[in-house]
Amino acid sequence: MRFTRRLAFYVIALAILILVKLNTFGEDYSSVETFRGAQLESDVFYPLIARSINEGHLLKLSLNEEDFPFSPDDVYVNDHLQVMVSPAFLRELFSCSARVYDDSHLFVERGEETVSFYLNQQSAIFGEEIVELTGEPANRGGVIYVPLADVCKMFDYHFRWSSKNYQVKITAEEDAMAVNLPRSYDLRKKSRTASIRNQGSQTTCWAFASIEALESSLLPERKVTFDEKDMVANKPYAYSDQNGGDYTMALAYLLSWKGPVDETGEVAAHVQQARFFNQDDIDDIKWAVYKYGGVSTSIYANVSGANLKDSSYYNDATNAYCYMGSESPNHDVVIIGWDDRYEASNFSNSVPGDGAFICQNSWGTSFGEEGVFYVSYYDMNVGDQGVSYMNLEAVNNYDEIYQSDLCGWNGQIGYNKEDVTAANIYRARGNETVMAAGFYALDKNTDYEIYFVSNCDTVSTLAKRVKVAEGSVKNAGYYTVSFDNGVVVSPGELFAIVIHITTPGADHPMAIEYQSARMEAGYVDLSDGVGYISRNGLDWENVEDKASGNLCLKAYTKRNE
């Protein structure tokens, strides 16, 4: 029996090798050629090829001759050698909204165009037209995937796919790639808003806004209620609830995997990516709402207590608000839509033009329009400290997190120039594979190079670093970057994550935690990691000594069986 199985394995392997050598299957994955008079069985060989591509992460994708990065979880090759993609992939490639309703209906919005895909149906509704697909949408791990070739055709992108060299080449003209946002958009109409909460007399709006934005980012696919009280109770450092908080405190809690906590009291997701905005990023905020869900933001609430009715900047009749003063933000809300045609006359004060963000408050349903109000684009603060939680992952995405910045980002470090090299050294807790690193980009258009150092017993060992990832990010934010290949570490081994980061216009481009004035003493632990920075990548300074702080540079691992 053992010999028979081994023989069968070698026969199949030899057949595949002969096919590859003789090119008996070509670039057209839909055809199967004849080999020595026998028709190759696609249901035998295609699944083998697909499995090899998927397990080896061999698929490559380019857009207009430039590499297009993607997560392996968002793209796979099916048993018919069709390239299948997730809603998350569609959002990035086509600049669209792509959401799943009732576990079976993938609804795509792109400018004025809409597409509805349905599980187990080899047709889609494109606008008002029924379009035949090359394959059925599939449910894989609870995610709906659709044939990429079909979506490209609908949106006038040219698609080429070679199963021989595992290359997907997509090209598109500027007109096809240009997408105009709708003049108005309201997540309430898309079933993509969290329930209205009431913070009462507490100054914990920062937690309410963060939690509501998180919940919105998962809707409509996943309806979950996170606990804002847990965020407040487990904030990263002692700080009176009456002193309020901000998005950096929320991020410290979330990025350290303390939350978000669901109704069972367990951590229900891992935040791995968030984008930041300011009051000048009106269009970018709209895109974030459109693609990912609610965006938390800070405004100045010109009133004492949870009511704007006494404010001269608020029109109670139209639920419209526009603060035109110079006060700093003191209240957080969630942007859930916009209306470019919202008339300036709706505001109680004179504003330069039409347009407003639709914002969800945390003052209960008796406020505004069932808890919602309109904030003018010309408000002095709206959009400031904006956060879009665009990548919540399952809690089993990684097994371990290595970090030394439990208090989160509250300072920057550098050498009065736009680039710096930084390194965090950690001791492995087990036999693991280091899969990714996480860091803050403190402004737009940040470039990064990430390196890894094994057996990093001394600072001089940092010179032996090996590049494991590189790229750039358009927006400020927190990013988790997967390595090109994971690196195995042994129990007790010292390893280093090294990053060279360049942020145009920055003087201190590396995020750190340090003992700030608003913290009670003793919350920054300088013993949970060893960090270094360098002006030139050769000479290193200890961050704990230089700034009494820790680098915001995390590592993520999977345990090896």
8 A C-beta contact, residue 168 and residue 159: yes
User: What local confidence, expressed as pLDDT, does residue 26 receive?
Assistant: 41
Domain annotation for the chain: domains and CATH numbers: 60-173 (3.30.457.10), 184-390 (3.90.70.10), 398-559 (2.60.120)
Rounded to 10 deg, the angle between the 2-22 and 42-55 helix axes is: 90
Q: How far apart are CA 75 and CA 146, in angstroms?
A: 10
The residue type of 450 is I
H-type helices in 136-204, by residue range?
Answer: 148-154, 174-177
- Residue 9 dihedral angles phi and psi, to the nearest 5°: -60, -45
Rounded to 10 deg, the angle between the 205-218 and 247-255 helix axes is: 50
- Its sign, for the CA torsion 279, 280, 284, 290, is positive
Q: Tell me which residue of 206, 204, 211 sits closest to 260, measured CA to CA.
A: 211
Q: How far apart are CA 105 and CA 90, in angstroms?
A: 15
8 A C-beta contact, residue 117 and residue 101: no
Written as six digits, the tokens of 338 are 């916009």
In this prediction the pTM is 0.90
Q: Tell me which residue of 43, 47, 63 sits closest to 55, measured CA to CA.
A: 47
Q: How far apart are CA 133 and CA 388, in angstroms?
A: 33
Q: How far apart are CA 553 and CA 225, in angstroms?
A: 29
Q: Tell me which residue of 194, 363, 426 sits closest to 294, measured CA to CA.
A: 194
User: What local confidence, expressed as pLDDT, does residue 1 receive?
Assistant: 43
State how far the alpha carbon of 53 is from the alpha carbons of 67, 170, 466, in Å.
18, 19, 26
User: What local confidence, expressed as pLDDT, does residue 6 receive?
Assistant: 45
Q: How far apart are CA 560 and CA 432, in angstroms?
A: 5
Q: Tell me which residue of 108, 56, 115 sits closest to 87, measured CA to CA.
A: 108
Q: Which H or E element spans position 5?
A: helix 2-22
pLDDT tens for the chain, 561 residues long, are: 443 444 444 445 544 544 444 444 444 443 334 444 444 567 788 999 999 999 988 999 999 999 999 988 999 999 999 999 999 999 999 999 999 999 999 999 999 999 999 999 999 999 999 999 999 999 999 999 999 999 999 999 999 999 889 999 999 999 999 999 999 999 999 999 999 999 998 889 999 999 999 999 999 999 999 999 999 999 887 666 667 889 999 999 999 999 999 999 999 999 999 999 999 999 999 999 999 999 999 999 987 555 787 889 999 999 999 999 999 999 999 999 999 999 999 999 999 999 999 999 999 999 999 999 999 999 999 999 999 998 899 999 999 999 999 999 999 999 999 999 999 999 999 999 999 999 999 999 999 999 999 999 999 999 999 999 999 999 999 999 999 899 999 999 999 999 999 999 999 999 999 887 666 655 677 776 689 999 999 999 999 888 889 999 999 999 998
> Which residues have CB under 8 Å from 419's CB, separation 6+?
500, 501, 502, 503, 509
- Residue 275 dihedral angles phi and psi, to the nearest 5°: -110, 145
Q: How far apart are CA 151 and CA 135, in angstroms?
A: 11
User: What local confidence, expressed as pLDDT, does residue 32 receive?
Assistant: 39
Q: Tell me which residue of 500, 540, 514, 539 sits closest to 417, measured CA to CA.
A: 500
User: What local confidence, expressed as pLDDT, does residue 188 receive?
Assistant: 98
* Sheet strand arrangement including 540-542: 466-473, 446-453, 494-502, 419-427, 530-534, 540-542
Q: How far apart are CA 489 and CA 475, in angstroms?
A: 32
Q: Tokens 């904006």 sit at which residue?
A: 386
Which residues in 403-420 are b (16+ Cβ under 10 Å) and which e? Answer: bbbbbbbbebbbbeebbb
- Its sign, for the CA torsion 222, 228, 231, 234, is negative
Q: Tokens 């990064």 sit at which residue?
A: 448
Span between the terminal Cα atoms of the chain, in Å: 29
- Residue 214 dihedral angles phi and psi, to the nearest 5°: -60, -50
Q: How many CA atoms lie within 13 A of 47 on its CB side?
A: 4
8 A C-beta contact, residue 408 and residue 258: no
* Other beta carbons less than 10 A from residue 544's beta carbon: 19
Question: Residue 180 has what DSSP assignment?
Answer: P
